[in-house]
Amino acid sequence: MPEKKMVKATLEIYAPPTGGQAGPGGLQETIEFQFNPAELSLVKEVSLARHNARLAQHTSVPEFTGSRPRVLAMSVVLDKRDSQDKSVDGRVRALLSCCTPTESSRADDQPSPPWVRFRWGGFETVSFLAFISRMKATYTRFSTEGEPLRAVCEISLEEIGTTTQGQNPTSGSPSSRQSYVLVRGDSLQSVAFGSTGRADGWRAIAQANDIADPSRLEAGRTLLLPGVADR
């Protein structure tokens, strides 16, 4: 019986959407990990609010206020075992570049880092469009010339934000608008895409929330998302 070929985990790097584009841009690079992760950590959280009365004897029933993005964390080893392997430092730089806005997105006045997707065979639960919210590289081996030959990279991927739907999002009234709580790594572009499937609605979100500088968003802030009638 033939031996099954090991499926390698990969990280796909996409250009962020521009203009009225729905979804990510073109595939820019695929990093194939030489060694599959030994473990994956997946976290999903919800936001709950409690309205406590000062004289109440019991705690209040929590109110569901939203669902937070999935966060996938992993540790991968990059190694240069022979002259045929790609540069370790080059692959680390490719990962680091995912933590800063691309030149094209800045030129389009929609600053956004590249979008990424982790893939490992048919493991769909951990395969989603995301930002790299944290990347730490520890170099552990070097050549006699000072070239890094091995690096252990700790990577956190944060899912592109989704929104909580109002009862009647097309009415245009403030009470029926969608809302979203910002998390680290969000951009107005990603929030707009998560709520409507289109990234070009970010300007309406900025106007509705009096945001003068879209590149300076504070995690934890609740945004009102204009309904279809508002746009």
Note the pLDDT of residue 71.
95
pTM of the model: 0.65
> Residue 88: in which H helix or E strand, if any?
helix 88-96
Residue 164 in any domain: the answer is: no
Total domains in the chain come to: 2
With respect to residue 48, please indicate whether it lies within any of the assigned structural domains: no
Regarding whether 198 and 142 lie in a shared domain, the answer is no
Same domain, residue pair 89 and 202: no
Regarding whether 151 and 93 lie in a shared domain, the answer is yes
133 located within any domain: yes
Full residue range of the structural domain in which residue 218 is found: 174-225
Same domain membership, residue 183 and residue 142: no
Question: Residue written as tokens 């959280």?
Answer: 45
Digits of tens for pLDDT over the chain (231 positions)? Answer: 567 788 999 999 999 887 666 678 889 999 999 999 999 999 998 887 877 767 667 777 787 777 788 999 999 999 987 666 678 999 999 999 999 999 988 888 888 999 999 999 989 999 999 999 999 999 999 999 999 999 999 999 999 864 444 433 333 334 334 677 777 677 888 888 777 767 778 888 888 888 988 888 887 788 887 753 344
In a domain, 88, yes or no: yes
Pick the last residue of a domain from 110, 125, 159.
159
The whole-angstrom separation of Cα 108 and Cα 63 is: 39
| Bridge partners of residue 76, in order along the sequence | 153
Q: Which residues is 48 bridged to in the sheet?
A: 64
